[in-house]
């Protein structure tokens, strides 16, 4: 990194850039056709529309005026620690900015946010074939939980089917 990067929380006018980063990440992960996100959906689910809920937040990092990357994340909770945490959904740094400390800077910002809120842990998933990212995460001290933990998911038809299997939740 030649100059100190600028990190800030995204605002509504950043949504097109966030969608660019999401699309670029999908291409990197060999899933370009899997992106269903739109600017409208991001505006709504990132809490930028009036009366919309904020389900996730985004930190953006810039090298001067040049957008270099993002960290899209949301809060979770550790029952064993009885503390909030952060789940990093996507960390993306554009290829021309990799190896210059931008990923580390984004993770450091998230770690500081956790410390400020007395949070317990920062977690994320990484594709097993993504050796460069795995090596980077291990170099900063991240623990590979794959020895004991397996990621599970319900989505699309399986999510819809599961939703019909239980009793209705009482609402007060």
Residues serving a catalytic function are: 137
Tell me which residue of 87, 83, 79 sits closest to 120, measured CA to CA: 83
Tell me which residue of 90, 19, 97 sits closest to 61, measured CA to CA: 97
Q: How far apart are CA 92 and CA 19, in angstroms?
A: 12
Displacement of CA 141 from its chain's centroid (Å)? 19
Sign of the four-CA dihedral 117, 123, 124, 129 = positive
Are the beta carbons of 59 and 6 closer than 8 angstroms? no
Tokens of 126: 């990484």
3-class secondary structure, 139: helix
CA angle 30, 156, 16 (to 5 degrees): 55
Tell me which residue of 104, 75, 94 sits closest to 17, measured CA to CA: 94
């Amino acid at each position: 990194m030649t100059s100190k990067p600028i990190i800030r929380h995204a605002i509504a006018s950043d949504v097109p850039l966030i969608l660019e980063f999401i699309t670029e990440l999908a291409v990197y992960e060999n899933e370009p056709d899997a992106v269903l996100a739109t600017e409208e959906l991001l505006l709504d689910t990132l809490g930028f529309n009036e009366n919309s809920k904020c389900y996730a937040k985004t930190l953006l990092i810039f090298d001067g005026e040049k957008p270099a990357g993002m960290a899209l994340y949301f809060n979770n909770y550790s029952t064993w620690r009885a503390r909030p945490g952060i789940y990093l959904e996507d960390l993306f740094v554009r290829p021309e900015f990799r190896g210059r400390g931008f990923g580390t800077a984004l993770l450091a910002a998230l770690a500081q946010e956790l410390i400020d809120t007395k949070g317990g842990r920062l977690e994320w998933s990484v594709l097993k074939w993504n050796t460069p990212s795995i090596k980077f995460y291990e170099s900063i001290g991240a623990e590979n939980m794959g020895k004991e933990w397996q990621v599970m998911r319900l989505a699309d038809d399986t999510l819809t089917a599961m939703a019909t299997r239980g009793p209705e939740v009482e609402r007060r």
